[in-house]
Every structure is written in C-alpha cells, then in structure tokens.
Amino acid sequence: MFKTYKTLILGCVTFVLFKSVQSGTTLEQYKEGGRMMRSICSPKFQISPEIWAQLEEKQTPDDRNVKCFINCIFETSKAMKRGKYQLDIALKQVDMMVPDHMKDDYKNGFSACKDAGKGFKDYCDISYEVYKCILAEIPSFIVP
C-alpha cells in the first residue's frame, strides 16, 4: 500500500513539475512540490514538533532522524543517489521546479555545495552536510 501511495505522490509531483515547465513555476507551485516530498519522507522518521520548528527556521539540528529525512528528500528529488550528490540532476531540477527569480541563486548555491559531503561515508551524514552548505549558500532557500 505504501508503494501505491508513494507512486501517487510522485505522479502528483511530476504533474506539478510538468505544469511548471509549461508555464513557469510560481512560488506556490514550488512550495507545493516541497510539501509533497515532505509527505513522502516524514512518515519514515520520528521528528518532534520542536525539531520541525527548527528546520522551518533554517536551523540544522544534529539529529539522526533529521539527517536521514534530508537524505530522503534529496533521494526523492534525485539530487542524491546512494550517497553521491548528483549536481547535474539538481541543476536540471532547478530549471524545472524553481521560480525564475530564484534560479541563479539556487544554481550557484548547489554548485558551490557539490563537495560539501566529501569525507563522509554515511548517506544521511553526506546529505546533512550538503544541506547545511545549501542553507549557507542560498539565503532564499525554501526548506521542503
């Protein structure tokens, strides 16, 4: 059943992205894509309301569930695959998902963070380091 739910959500994300490519992504469409990814990854990890509040304030709590939630978001968006940051895919996602006025900041920030996870072996730790870098490099980054 979870697989069916995940397929349905990914289908919705694909639809939102397809519509975005056709007419330019609005900020609300971008946020909706983030909410959809969050709904896929949230059930897998025990994250308290206090930690959610910290994440929404762009804080980076050093918590295993947070790290693995971030990895799930990156894996779901295809920006990370088995602990490898997929910069080329992340940049394509920017073109498809991010509103025009934010694209340059995102592309520059994602590019600047391509090596942020180097030296780490655990997938969750790698994603967490890349995420921290993204927050530092992209002031307008919207947390999914």
CATH number of the CATH domain containing 65: 1.10.238.20
Q: Residue 130 corresponds to which tokens in the numbers above? A: 């890349």
Question: What is the DSSP-derived secondary structure letter of residue 1?
Answer: -
Domain count, the chain: 1
Measured between alpha carbons, how far is 133 from 117 in angstroms, rounded to an integer?
9
pLDDT digits (tens, 9 = 90+) for 128-138: 999 999 999 99
Q: Assess if residue 97 is contained within a domain.
A: yes
Residue 112 belongs to domain spanning: 2-137
Q: Assess if residue 34 is contained within a domain.
A: yes
pLDDT digits (tens, 9 = 90+) for 36-76: 888 888 888 888 888 888 888 899 999 999 999 999 999 99
**pLDDT (0 to 100) of residue 6:** 52
Rg (CA), the chain: 14
Instruction: Write down the mean pLDDT value for the chain.
Output: 84
Task: Output the pTM of the full model.
Answer: 0.78
Q: Assess if residue 29 is contained within a domain.
A: yes
Measured between alpha carbons, how far is 17 from 22 in angstroms, rounded to an integer?
9
Three-state DSSP at 14 gives helix
